[in-house]
Amino acid sequence: MTVETPIKKSSRPRESPPRLPRPRESDAPVDTVAGLLDVHDKTGYIRTSGYLPGPGDVRVPHSQIRQYGLRPGDHVVATARKPYEKLIDVETVNGVADWRRRPDFADMTPIHPRDRLRLETGSVTGRVVDLFAPIGKGQRGLIVAPPKAGKTMILQDLAAAITRNHPDCHLMVVLVGERPEEVTEMRESIHGEVAASTFDRPDRDHTVVAELAVERAKRLAEAGHDVVLLLDSLTRLARAYNNLAPGGGRTLAGGIDASALLPPRRFFGAARNLRDGGSLTILATALVETGSRMDDTLFEEFKGTGNMELRLSRALADKRLYPAVDLDASGTRREEILLDPLEHRLTWRLRRTLGGLEKQQALELLTDRLRETPSNAAFLQQIQQTA
């Protein structure tokens, strides 16, 4: 019989594998990154994948924001160390290497819009807007739209007209709470920046996208560029701020926290023509006749802050009339600055003539006459000759 001798365990402690030295931060590779600077709670992030946070974003401490004189919305090209995502140096800001001496948007003098944005193209939409709600550089306009009145098509027509007639303008479209397929359609149909947060994203994303987009527009305007920003919609943006409001403050009709109105009002109020700079034109849609008391209250709060209004009619849209513009309710403040005296006099004569007709009849007559003439100038000349 064989007896197995038990194996004695060694009393010596087990040796752990040798530790590899951690790579020093200075040994990490250096990459060039580019994106928009988004600042929250004094900490900045270079958004490298668009307007929303992404995995490749680079953190910029407050000390470096002050050191380099950076502002929210700046397009920054910098070097950063990966994977530590630490900013090393800034190379250019908004395409220039010497960016420190630049005016501040808030300190620049706003004046009335003076330079016209002509929207006349092959589409009737632009011609109707030119006649009844002319737009200038720096305009702050509301497109007031009930559901299914064609506001998306109006925005696409306006974007196409600006791209064609004013290629020097920087076009931006901000979509808040829209359907994903409409975001895709807008991106494929226009030539410009599209910043979007679809309806399935949290309210915080809606506000982040809108705030970064308007800061981007401010940086361009203070640098002398003419920017046109189309927002769809101001109502949904205000709803998002209301949902994020801490509560406990004064509540307005429709359940709106009074503090929630300040950020969207600040967004819309950024539109202006700058005396010693460029301009920021904002055309924002406002939803009405939705059955929501909140939406009606929001429109009442914003309608007095704009200087141009294009009102759409659900009744006209239901009769398949496009553009479904309520001619009597649409107009521009101080339009005499944008129009030459003869054009101003003839458009008022046109308003008086169409004002005596029923809305459907007036719109049908106008669009028929526009299709029969090659341009608004030829159309107004006909009016002058028949007077």
Q: Are residues 85 and 225 in the same domain?
A: no
**pTM to 2 decimal places:** 0.88
pLDDT given for residue 87 in this prediction = 85
Characterise 248 by phi-psi region: left (phi > 0), alpha (psi -120 to 50), beta (else): left
Confidence of residue 266 (pLDDT cuts 50, 70, 90): very high
Bridge partner list, 332:
308
Which CATH number covers residue 246?
3.40.50.300
**Beta strands 193-198 and 170-178: pairing type?**
parallel
Tell me, what DSSP letter sits at residue 24? P
Top pLDDT among 351 and 10 is at 351
**pLDDT tens digits, residue range 204-243?**
999 999 999 999 999 999 999 999 999 998 999 999 999 8
- The Cα 273–Cα 66 span in angstroms is 28
Name the amino acid, one letter, at 322.
Y
Q: How far is CA 238 from CA 155, 206, 230, 298, in A?
A: 20, 10, 16, 8
> How open is the CA angle 350-356-362, to the nearest 5 degrees?
65
Residue 15 lies in a domain: no
Task: Give long-range contacts, CB 8 A cutoff, 24+ apart: 100-104.
Answer: 100/69, 102/222, 102/223, 103/222, 103/276, 103/277, 104/222
Residue 9 lies in a domain: no
pLDDT given for residue 337 in this prediction = 93
pLDDT given for residue 255 in this prediction = 80
Q: Are residues 292 and 143 in the same domain?
A: yes
Quickly count: other Cβ atoms within 10 Å of residue 43's Cβ. Answer: 12
**pLDDT tens digits, residue range 26-41?**
556 788 889 999 998 8
Q: Are residues 71 and 121 in the same domain?
A: no
Alpha-carbon dihedral 221, 224, 228, 234, rounded to 10 degrees: 10
How confident is the prediction for the chain on average, in pLDDT? Answer: 88
Quote the domain boundaries for residue 88: 30-93
Residue 12 lies in a domain: no
Q: Are residues 215 and 301 in the same domain?
A: yes
Residue 2 lies in a domain: no
Which CATH number covers residue 38?
2.40.50.140
Residue 20 lies in a domain: no
Q: Are residues 127 and 263 in the same domain?
A: yes
Top pLDDT among 2 and 356 is at 356
Q: Are residues 117 and 215 in the same domain?
A: yes
Q: Are residues 225 and 322 in the same domain?
A: yes
Quickly count: other Cβ atoms within 10 Å of residue 192's Cβ. Answer: 17
Residue 237 lies in a domain: yes
Q: Are residues 87 and 139 in the same domain?
A: no
- Does the pLDDT value for residue 16 go beyond 80? no
**pLDDT tens digits, residue range 154-208?**
999 999 999 999 999 999 999 999 999 999 998 998 888 999 999 999 999 999 9
pLDDT given for residue 97 in this prediction = 85
Domain tally, the chain: 2
Q: Are residues 131 and 277 in the same domain?
A: yes
Residue 3 lies in a domain: no
Q: Are residues 240 and 338 in the same domain?
A: yes
Confidence of residue 24 (pLDDT cuts 50, 70, 90): low
Confidence of residue 22 (pLDDT cuts 50, 70, 90): low
Q: Are residues 214 and 363 in the same domain?
A: yes
Helix 262-269 vs helix 293-302: crossing angle, to nearest 10: 40
